[in-house]
Structure 1
């Protein structure tokens, strides 16, 4: 079977949708299927990917995004004639001028010989994005009729797809190859014998909804004996970097917090594996949380997440979910985890079981069912 993934962005960006399609694509290839990718903007040399239009930058749902320029229908038909996929898998919500046109031209070129499916990825981050998504759903109403089936990456995304788009989705979660990802970490985390600082790690974009400033404020609110027990590594970059640097200095946390900049894809597993406590304090707009399952797969001691619907779906444990905007509650959770190695060990064991729900065999089977295989 040949599957063509279609996404309205560059496949070279290290964001959640791109991680979803490349991880699922690799799993499909490992199972003997052919996979190609059609995107807008830049491509990766290590993937069978083609860019079929350019992008322009926009801001939506708290993210800096790129949206495609109108694609040439002739170019799309030529690509479809050349590839002739059995399945076209569109990432949703999708642009009417790129992925929407791929769907239209696929029906003209391939007719009923192609199965067209879509996966819904986002949750709105506020009223503006919620209204914008609902409007896009109305614009795409006729286009949606050309699809054969829909999925969503989490139960909250299933609900929002129904609310905003009027579509019924099955659940096909994001995935990680647990054993392969863990093998990318060359060294295990040292044993906590009290002789070293615990490593608290964050990795993500430095944007408002990822909770980077909230993490610094929670660390600042820790009692001195707890701050003395940790070293905080913050990896990533983004528009808040300058204000984060200023906040670290203002709170006098230069000894406790190191800002480590961009972490390369090949170094990510080790970055997570080194964490005694991996913290992702997103305040909203998360439909799933690939970072959570990657950190668990790498073997992080404890994974803590912001209490938003997508992260709650993944972690399913009130003991590691926190409203990051509540500085006192956030700080108390960190203090509890820092001081209680037995609690950390119990949570670690539970999370190591949970991550297997997102391992390749589980999600691959769900995807193949979506494809009608």
Structure 2
């Protein structure tokens, strides 16, 4: 089978959808399938990436779903797109939705392949949902050429049906992780700088408003009063709010806070595995929760804000704790319950490691391949 992924963003940026595409790309390739990615980012050197990418437009930076993204401007003619698609001759085109009319929509309109859509986004604001409904009505043809629909989570499914209508059926299939690298890290000794008597809290994410690090800092301030000099907060990630958040930390007189900035994929698993509790304070716009599943694979108990995406993951993994978003006191209380019980941390961590196996690319990839085959068989009938 030949599979083409269609992605309006580019593959040089770190993001959840890029992780999703790469994970499936390499898993399907390992099974002997031919795989290609149609994406934006023609201004970048795609030869440096490990995947075969056909760039179809310059990517313009923009902002969407509470995070940075990009929009491709594809100037290829429809005739040229049809020639390219015929030459590639994919059995499946797997488009990442929401897709734009500037590239993704045009590819579907000119393709004769079987089209699979995965809807990844969670939109919480009513006005944004209404705006997306208007786009659907203004440009209906760009959203019609789909034969099978996947939602990356129940939270994403709810958003998809709010935009496109409940008449469309979605199969919920979670995203996967590279389980082996996290399992290997979980078996390593702690990094020496964290091998002491302090309880290490760890959070990971871009330092932007929707990730809610402000509320974790305020929760940490409350915890410091009860556990003076007994805790450490490690913050991995960078972003536009870093300076503002560091100023807040000083105002709150926080101690033992480490700002790691960007952490490479190679270094991240061992860093996380050296922590005691994983904290995920994102306030909204989360459709899944890669960081939660990664923390589970490392054997960490999780305290997370109960946005729709995180809550949808944790409901299947009891013992981990979800608290109301933007509530530092509730988050501090949940973290304190783990601080007070090393036995609970160990028990939940062991359960998390076992349950994280359900998110390996082998498990997720096989589910998606089965969906491909089923949809393809129905399409050719």
Calculate the TM-score normalised by the size of structure 1. Answer: 0.91
| Shift in CA distance, 129/102, structure 1 to aligned 2, threshold 3 Å | same
- Taking the aligned partners of 2:160 and 2:303, their CA distance within structure 1 comes to 27
Match of 1:177 in 2: 178
Match of 1:229 in 2: 230
CA contact (8 A) 1:175 1:363 kept: yes
SS in 1 for 2:123: coil
CA contact (8 A) 1:158 1:168 kept: no
Match of 2:62 in 1: 58
Shift of 1:16: 0.8
Query: Which segments of 5 or more consecutive residues in structure 1 lack a partner in the other structure?
Result: 108-113
SS in 2 for 1:344: helix
- Write the deviation string for residues 117-140 of structure 1: whole angstroms up to 9, x where unpaired: 100000103223222322233345
Match of 1:92 in 2: 97
Deviates more, 1:323-332 or 1:71-80: 71-80
Shift of 1:222: 1.2
CA contact (8 A) 1:121 1:152 kept: yes
- Taking the aligned partners of 1:158 and 1:144, their CA distance within structure 2 comes to 16
| Shift in CA distance, 242/180, structure 1 to aligned 2, threshold 3 Å | closer
Deviates more, 1:57-66 or 1:196-205: 57-66
SS in 1 for 2:68: strand
CA contact (8 A) 1:16 1:290 kept: yes
- Taking the aligned partners of 2:178 and 2:281, their CA distance within structure 1 comes to 24
SS in 1 for 2:122: coil
- Write the deviation string for residues 266-324 of structure 1: whole angstroms up to 9, x where unpaired: 22222221221111111111111111112222x14212221011111112147411124
- Write the deviation string for residues 58-88 of structure 1: whole angstroms up to 9, x where unpaired: 2222112211214413443343233211110
| Shift in CA distance, 71/353, structure 1 to aligned 2, threshold 3 Å | farther
Calculate the TM-score normalised by the size of structure 2. Answer: 0.89
Query: Which segments of 5 or more consecutive residues in structure 2 lack a partner in the other structure?
Result: 375-381
RMSD between aligned alpha carbons? 2.2
- Write the deviation string for residues 186-240 of structure 1: whole angstroms up to 9, x where unpaired: 823489xx95212211111101110111111110111434242221110111110
Number of residue equivalences: 364
2:250 matches 1:249: yes
SS in 2 for 1:50: strand
Instruction: Report matched runs for 1:249-288 at 5 Å.
Output: 249-253=250-254, 255-288=255-288
Match of 2:33 in 1: 33
Deviates more, 1:157-166 or 1:306-315: 157-166
Match of 2:152 in 1: 153
